[in-house]
Structure 1
Amino acid sequence: MKRRHLDMENGHDKQSSGSKKRKTIYDCAQSGDIDGFQKLLQDNPSLLRERNAFMLETPLHVSASNNKTEIVKFLLEWKGDEKVDLEAKNMYGETPLHVASKNGCNEAARLLLAHGALVEAKSKYGVTPLMLSVCQSSRAEDCSTVETLLEKNADCDATDDEGMTPLDHLSKIQESGKLSDLLVSRQKDQHNKKFLEACSKQKERMDALEKELSNIVGLDELKIQLRKWAKGILVDERRKAIGVKMGTAGIFPHMAFLGNPGTGKTMVARILGRLLLSVGILQTDNLKEVQRTDLVGQYIGQTGYKTREKIKEAEGGILFVDEAYRLIPEERSGRDFGLEALEEIMSCMDNGKVLVIFAGYNEAMQRVISSNEGFKRRVTNIFNFKDLSCEELANVLHIKMKNQKKDSLLHGFKLHSSCTVDALAELIKRETIKPQRMKLNGGLVDIMLNNAEGNLDFRLSDDCAERDELLTIKLEDFEAAMEALPE
């Protein structure tokens, strides 16, 4: 009974030892027996995803490779609970579209594409349907399937695992002819389209970068470098669009940001993450910010594990090591595991999985740079974040007011016309001293805004004020705010 049950499931029930073998679902798919096919499938819908023993092909593979369009159409429009898998792969990693293409089954290929089959699907060896179709068409002297695939924008520049394009495959068979002319002509059209798209994207991305850079005060050297990276990457995209084969990118541009707190190091790192994501260097704009306590353990064996876990969390994005100089204490008493954490980070910097940015005070960071021989080789971009001048601090204040997030306490507030950049710069210069500004930098702006908003609340009368009066911070509020600054 068990054997009979299995035979029935696979569509070949044996009535008796002497009776004629019943057709399987694959027999019907190959011969185009639509009546027999429908009956078998309606009796047992699970046959829809069944695989044959020889090539591990589904009924859709078999019917498509034999151009049995009536059965292909029936499968694609099947309404049962079981759904046909358009991208099912046989033992060679070929989809139904692959097998239809390599057998010159144009009508079947059209049906598959009309129902959403992936024209750029790749087999186990990276081969696309177009590559298979080109080889078949050159032998059959029939370009119809190639034309069908090209109508669906099959990529003439796609490469297999050996780096060969459809034209490369064709050149191994024939030098010229109708098929070659067709591919060359379509390739030119695709290059022109890709080139125009790349130009359009370049403008959009450069405009987006300039918008981001407008929120950075000072740091002209860094801005120039960011523009160079973005422009170089985007120009390479235009070269690829016209068929130029570009070399693979090197390791990530690991960096060190040197400067006092509040100079914008973390903000710039976040902007950098968005930039490098947009141009394809990073997989995500995720920035994982860590300090010594996140990396260093108390006992032998803890540090390596903790550091590797943080690196893993940052994969595809940026690992931002803040106050990195704390990994190398000035005075070493007993065993310190900071150097172990630094070496663990160094070991991951060549694998192309994470971009590392070290940040900290200028002088203190020199200990980190000199403590590891591989640091200078791996960290190829070192940027100095200078302390902000009074004018720059005033500009930062204006930018922050302009870009308040919806969940910010100051969202909806605005500056009075008296709060010009010049007026605020003069106030900061008059009411602060240089060591105070160096210690706080951008942090000074946050204190000024919070204190000014508090003074606004205090000076408002008990009478119901108008909306503008409730939300407008005046210069006198900032003057009062300066009196509460930390020493």
Structure 2
Amino acid sequence: MNRSHDKWLRSPKPPTIHGYAHSGDLIGFQRLLRDIPSLLNETNPVMAQTPLHVSAGHNRAEIVQFLLDWQGPGRVELEAKNMYGETPLHMAAKNGCSEAARLLLTHSAFVEARAYNGMTPLHLAVWHSLRADEFLTVKVLLEYNADCSAKDNVEGMTPLNHLSQGPGNEKLRELLNWHLEEQRKRRAIEACGETKAKMDELEKELGYIVGLNDLKMQLRKWAKGMLLDERRRALGLHVGTRRPPHMAFLGNPGTGKTMVARILGKLLHMVGILPTDKVTEVQRTDLVGEFVGHTGPKTRKKIQEAEGGILFVDEAYRLIPMQKSDDKDYGLEALEEIMSVMDHGKIVVIFAGYHEPMNRVITSNEGFSRRVTKFFHFNDFNSKELAEILHTKMNNLSKDSLLYGFKLHPSCNIEALAALIERETTEKQRKETNGGLIDTMLVNARENLDLRLSFECIDTEELLTITLVDLEAGLQLVSQ
């Protein structure tokens, strides 16, 4: 080995960016970083810590400040994670570096950042206080509303739980308990505001439903109960989870069963009973196969599609044949498949159909009445209610509606429309079609508007206004 090579081996290694961050040599740190800006978020071997991790963990406030104010290329990674998933704020907290912690929090470091074991900076700051008999960093974190009830991933321990393992520290225990109670109060106030907003949203949705007062009252009861459970949990109270309410909607076509199911989907999702607001609509043909072994997989596929939301089984009575025959009918197999998942809590099932035929479904399976606990009767609409439905539809037209952009003439008030419907339709027609009557009536009315207008018409109001004459003509077409 020659002398020059031997000298090179004995010469000290030049300081690294992490070495400067550890020692607090601000001038050396600034010079090296300006020469090599790519070192800004360089991770060191083994621990995978950035310069910000190291400087924050040794309370090198000047270097932390320099990194946070860095004007060179790139930006310092405030939430960078080391090999344990700890951020620079974790490092400041676990070593009691209150000054560095405050600087990081002032620059919007995430106070609830989680390490891989689920611990927050407050967990680690409390651990430090047990060793050091001081809790300045805990105070700093609490100033930024660190969550005293956060649980780690190991044993579900909160910062207070960790504190209870050590002797003494009564002042710190009092401080954490005080902040815990204040946070519960704030959450309760926030939950109150959120609850009111959710109830207002529910009332808005219920406003689209004409009639069905008993059903709307039941939906309000459910919503209020489930939202009160939310508030109870926000206050730290432990309450049981409500079971998904399986239902039967009984009534003639056009009475709003599908629309109510969609509103119910929004409600159950809004209050956390269901993870999604989707409503999967199925009929017999979607569930029942033609051959042996075909129905089970077909039904299970639809159940899987509906998971997390509502499975709406329309005309459910068609699953059960009116009379027993020699040929095997597979509808009962589909019903049994649906019944088998109704206790799992991952889906809400609504069976819908006419009043009388639905008795076949109710009596066909002994577990039906145990699982389906709510039965709602959708009565036929009278003339006034149909007039209200027409107004509701015209006031809430979507962009994909054929009538989007059109409006009713002022003469088309509820009373005038109710009288028109009463005069131009029979009770039998209204009972057989219900709300479906209005859709056809409106389409016909628009066609009549087009028919009576001339191409010379330039009055924009007239071009877009449906009159009582148009509605009468539309209704007469339906009657014919």
Q: Distance in 1 between matches of 2:96 and 2:195?
A: 40
**CA displacement at 1:442 relative to structure 2:** 0.5
Q: How big is the shift at 1:133?
A: 1.5
Q: Say whether the 8 Å CA contact 1:72–1:108 is kept in structure 2.
A: yes
Change (3 A) 1:468 1:311: same
Q: 2:441 — aligned with what?
A: 448
Structure 2: which 5+ runs fail to align?
Answer: 1-5
Amino acid at match of 1:376: S
Q: 1:277 to 1:81 in 2, by over 3 A?
A: same
* Range with bigger deviation, 261-270 or 283-292: 283-292
Identity percentage over the alignment?
57
Q: Specify whether residues 62 and 403 from structure 1 end up closer, same or farther in structure 2 by C-alpha distance, changes over 3 A only.
A: same
Structure 1 segment 145-160 matched on structure 2, within 5 A: 145-160=137-152
1:110 and 1:452 map into 2 onto residues whose CA distance is: 68
- Aligned counterpart in structure 2 of residue 200 of structure 1, from 180, 184, 193: 193
DSSP-derived class of the 2:274 partner: coil
Structure 2 counterparts to residues 248-267 of structure 1, below 5 A? 248-267=240-259
Q: Is the 8 A contact 1:322 1:360 kept in 2?
A: yes
Partner of 2:285: 293
Q: Say which SS state the counterpart of residue 357 (structure 2) adopts.
A: helix
Tell me if 1:385 matches 2:378.
yes
Q: Which residue of 2 aligns with 1:188?
A: 181
- Letter paired with 1:316: G
Displacement after TM superposition at 1:445 (Å): 0.8
Larger CA deviation: 18-27 vs 328-337: 18-27
How do 1:420-431 and structure 2 match up within 5 A?
420-431=413-424
Say what the alpha-carbon RMSD is for the aligned residues: 3.4
Aligned match of 1:97 in 74, 79, 89? 89
CA deviation vs aligned residue, 1:105-143 (integer Å, no higher than 9, x gap)? 223323333444322223444332212222322442323
Counterpart among 355, 364, 386 of residue 357 in structure 2: 364
Task: Show CA shifts across 1:117-176 (max 9, x none).
Answer: 322223444332212222322442323211221222212233335444333333343577
CA contact (8 A) 1:89 1:95 kept: yes
CA distance in 1, matches of 2:232, 2:208: 31
1:40: Cα distance to partner? 8.7
- Structure 2: distance between partners of 1:127 and 1:286: 35
Structure 2 CA distance for partners of 1:41 and 1:463, relative to 1, 3 Å: closer
Shift of 1:96: 3.3
In the TM superposition, 1:185-334 aligns within 5 A as: 185-241=178-234, 243-299=235-291, 302-331=294-323, 334=327
TM-score where L is the length of structure 1: 0.83
Contact kept? 2:184, 2:236, Cα under 8 Å: no
Say whether 1:137 aligns with 2:132: no
1:418 is aligned to 411
AA matched with 2:83: N
Question: Given residue 215 of structure 1, which amino acid in structure 2 is its aligned partner?
Answer: Y
Q: 1:311 to 1:428 in 2, by over 3 A?
A: same
Deviation at 1:401, TM superposition (A): 1.5
Q: Is the 8 A contact 1:257 1:265 kept in 2?
A: yes
Letter in 2 for 1:154: A
Q: Distance in 2 between matches of 1:343 and 1:76?
A: 63
| Structure 1 residues 70 and 126, CA gap change in structure 2 (3 angstroms) | same
Question: Structure 1 pair 115/362, CA: closer, same or farther in 2 (3 Å)?
Answer: farther
Structure 1 residues 334 and 126: CA distance shift in structure 2, 3 A: farther
Note the C-alpha offset of 1:63: 4.0
Distance 1:214 1:33 in 2: 68
Q: 1:32: Cα distance to partner?
A: 4.2
Task: Give how far 1:384 is off.
Answer: 1.7
Q: 2:425 aligns with which of 432, 435, 444?
A: 432
Are the equivalent residues in 1 in contact too, given 2:21–2:29 (CA < 8 A)? no
Offset at 1:252? 2.0
- Contact in 2 for aligned 1:106/1:144 (Cα 8 Å): yes
Give the drift of 1:346: 3.2
Choose the corresponding residue for 1:478, options 447, 468, 471: 471
Question: How many residues are paired up?
Answer: 471
Question: Post-superposition shift, 1:99?
Answer: 3.2
- Measured in 2, the distance between the counterparts of 1:190 and 1:268 equals 38
In the aligned structure 1, how far is the partner of 2:417 from the partner of 2:143?
Answer: 62
Alignment counterpart, residue 109 of structure 2, candidates 86, 109, 117: 117
Secondary structure, in 3 states, of the residue corresponding to 2:362? helix
Structure 1 unaligned regions, length at least 5: 1-13
Counterparts of 1:417 and 1:68, CA distance in 2: 74
Q: Is the 8 A contact 1:46 1:82 kept in 2?
A: no
Secondary structure of the structure 1 residue equivalent to 2:281: strand
